[in-house]
Structure 1
Amino acid sequence: MILHLYFARRFIMGFILISAVLFSLLVLVDMVDQARRFSSYDIGWLRLFGMTLLKTPETMNLILPLIMILATVVLFLSLARSSELVVTRAAGRSALSALQAPIWVAFIIGVMAVGMLNPIVAATAKRYIQLSDSIRAGGTSVLSVSDEGLWLRQGSDEGQTVIRAWRSNKDASVLYDVTFLSYAPEGGPARRIEADSAALEDGIWTLTDAKSWPLEVGVNAEGAAETFDTLTLPSTLTL
């Protein structure tokens, strides 16, 4: 029993050491990636570090089997280099018996990963997506659902746009009976667009059967209106 506890302790220490090393490397790499991804937004390093900590558990969960394999290799290499495996065999213990403690520890870690790590990863990943979308949208909520339809807001250096749709598909990637109302950076409405549908793709809205009215002062909106079979608009939103 004491020998099993000794092997279990050595395995746990190896697992913790490798996890700490890989976690540190992942934080460093992901920190650089977050800085590149949000380089065009005015956010500090502290906030970037916080978002990195929210993103890293998801990667750690993916490489957990690799950590387990490396911890096992480190354990038995260290036991072989110190001749402890030889002493164990000489004492009458079989090699399979020496595997019992690491197997039980690995099983317990797996159960804890399923029961505790997975919910943590789900919560941190969801929070990361919320913060990422909030930064891209200027720090305010971008989505609102009411009896009057689905409401979105997107912003850029060219101004703000309010989007309303009466319905959407399951993941809100396609909006139907949609209206875009754009505001100039200095304030005031600039353009109104109505379309049968609007599909959110990588950085753009693709509108079908759209009609656009300019809303500048002194312009006949209906007289200057344009119709489009397909119209694309830039977007700062993501799914």
Structure 2
Amino acid sequence: MLASLRSGHTLAVYFALRFIASILGLFLLAAVLIFIFDALELLRRASDQDGASLARIGAISLLRVPQLMEQVLPFAVLFGAIAAFLGLSRKLELVVARAAGVSVWQFTAPALIVGIGIGIGAVLLYNPLAVALRTQSDELASGLFGREQNFLLQTTGDIWLRQDGKDGESVLHAKQILNSGERLLGVTLFTFDRQGSFVERIEASEATLGEKIWRLSDATVYSTEGDPQTYESYTVSTYLTPTEVRESIAAPESIGFWDLPRVIELSQRAGLPAYRYSLQYQTLLARPALLAAMVLIAACVSLRVSRMGGIGRLILGGILAGFVLYVLSELGKDLGGAGIVPPFIAAWAPGVFGVLMGITILLHLEDG
């Protein structure tokens, strides 16, 4: 019996190492391809900008890749698990294991453990590191891309923000955000007095949020009373707090896993909706379940291949199933981010559905 346990443990470790190598290989291959295409695109956009160099563009892209790869991770696990299962099946290792009495659950368990382990590591370690590197990338890219620098933003476009202050209302436009919205680049401000009349337009290279003020650097002020005036430093009043600015314009993806609970708490205390940040937090927590679902989909494909053939058609079916699951997770994000569906349900439903679907198919294939 002891020998049987040892052999079972050895087989499980062998399977797990095969899955790790396959998933890691695909992940690194995708990272290299994304880096090449991203660097070429950035180089094209910055080719006519002062200060652009191959080394700087390469560093910007390299620092961006880890966060971009977070979107690729589920597919890397899916394709890596399919490749590992197919490799075991083609070499008849799964056939021999099953002939020796190893059930589908026993050779799927190592893959599930690997998938869940990767998901936990991606949430606890990889995500905070990717966010920190992306922040460094934005810092390095600040001012380099001119009017196209929003290509590097963690938001979907230029920023527009209406605010109030002791001197009156103002409308703020910025082309790039840093530090979760507390630092803005490429800033234009339109200020109004208490009666709502236009006062001045201010263009500045940078704006930093202080205590009830925006500190503007290299500002040019255009008013109706005279010629434009240039100031090294200029201030505009605001009642916005860092929490309100972050909730208004900062992307949830720009905040690391360990910082999200504090941001959610601050937003709720300020009376602001925290749907987007709660959804991002729950999505990260649910990532191990999503990766487990991808592994189960791969197992369904491999089991049928070992029995029935038709490799190409079944692999395509597994890929389509993984793609549908990913689309469902993105749809859940949209609904949860808008507050239509509770963030917990929007984040966890795709992964739980995928796991249940995979278990059901494996039960049907294994036990009829």
Scaled to the shorter chain, the TM-score interval is 0.5 to 0.7
Offset from partner CA, 1:135-162 (integer Å, 9 cap, x none): 3579xx833455794222369xxxx775
Q: Does residue 36 of structure 1 match 2:44? A: yes
Determine the C-alpha separation between the residues in 1 that align with 2:212 and 2:89: 71
- 1:202-221 paired onto structure 2 within 5 Å: none
> Counting helix residues as a fraction of each chain, which structure ranks higher?
2
Between the two proteins, what is the percent identity of the paired residues?
27
**How does the TM-score come out when normalised to structure 1?**
0.63
Aligned 8 A contact 1:142 1:153 in 2: yes
Alignment-derived partner of residue 62 in structure 1: 71
Alignment-derived partner of residue 45 in structure 1: 54
Paired residues in the alignment total: 170
Q: Does residue 167 of structure 1 match 2:231? A: no
Aligned to 1:111, what secondary structure does the other structure show? Answer: helix
Aligned 8 A contact 1:134 1:142 in 2: no
Aligned 8 A contact 2:59 2:137 in 1: no
**How does the TM-score come out when normalised to structure 2?**
0.42
Comparing both chains, which one has the higher relative contact order based on Cα–Cα distances under 8 Å and sequence gaps of 6 or more?
A: 2
Determine the C-alpha separation between the residues in 1 that align with 2:16 and 2:140: 40
Does the C-alpha gap of structure 1 residues 115 and 147 become closer, same or farther in structure 2, counting only changes over 3 Å?
closer
Does the C-alpha gap of structure 1 residues 71 and 153 become closer, same or farther in structure 2, counting only changes over 3 Å?
same
The alpha carbon displacement at 1:80 in A equals: 1.0
Alignment-derived partner of residue 91 in structure 2: 82
The alpha carbon displacement at 1:32 in A equals: 1.2
Alignment-derived partner of residue 204 in structure 1: none
The alpha carbon displacement at 1:49 in A equals: 0.5
Does the C-alpha gap of structure 1 residues 74 and 153 become closer, same or farther in structure 2, counting only changes over 3 Å?
same
- List runs of 5+ in structure 2 lacking aligned partners: 1-8, 147-184, 187-204, 220-229, 250-368
Determine the C-alpha separation between the residues in 2 that align with 1:130 and 1:151: 18
Compare CA radii of gyration and give the structure with the larger one. 1
Cα RMSD (Å) of the superposition? 2.9
Specify which of 25, 32, 41 is matched with residue 24 of structure 1. 32
Determine the C-alpha separation between the residues in 2 that align with 1:127 and 1:39: 21
Amino acid at match of 1:130: E
Determine the C-alpha separation between the residues in 1 that align with 2:11 and 2:45: 50
Alignment-derived partner of residue 99 in structure 1: 108
Determine the C-alpha separation between the residues in 2 that align with 1:28 and 1:90: 45
Determine the C-alpha separation between the residues in 1 that align with 2:231 and 2:90: 66
Determine the C-alpha separation between the residues in 2 that align with 1:26 and 1:171: 32
Does the C-alpha gap of structure 1 residues 38 and 164 become closer, same or farther in structure 2, counting only changes over 3 Å?
farther
Aligned to 1:142, what secondary structure does the other structure show? Answer: strand
Q: Does residue 132 of structure 1 match 2:141? A: yes
Aligned to 1:47, what secondary structure does the other structure show? Answer: helix
Determine the C-alpha separation between the residues in 2 that align with 1:8 and 1:148: 55
Offset from partner CA, 1:157-207 (integer Å, 9 cap, x none): xxx775531226543999xxxxxxxxxxxxxxxxxxxxxxxxxxxxxxxxx
Aligned 8 A contact 2:206 2:216 in 1: yes
Does the C-alpha gap of structure 1 residues 27 and 161 become closer, same or farther in structure 2, counting only changes over 3 Å?
farther
Determine the C-alpha separation between the residues in 1 that align with 2:45 and 2:18: 40
Alignment-derived partner of residue 228 in structure 1: none
Does the C-alpha gap of structure 1 residues 2 and 45 become closer, same or farther in structure 2, counting only changes over 3 Å?
same
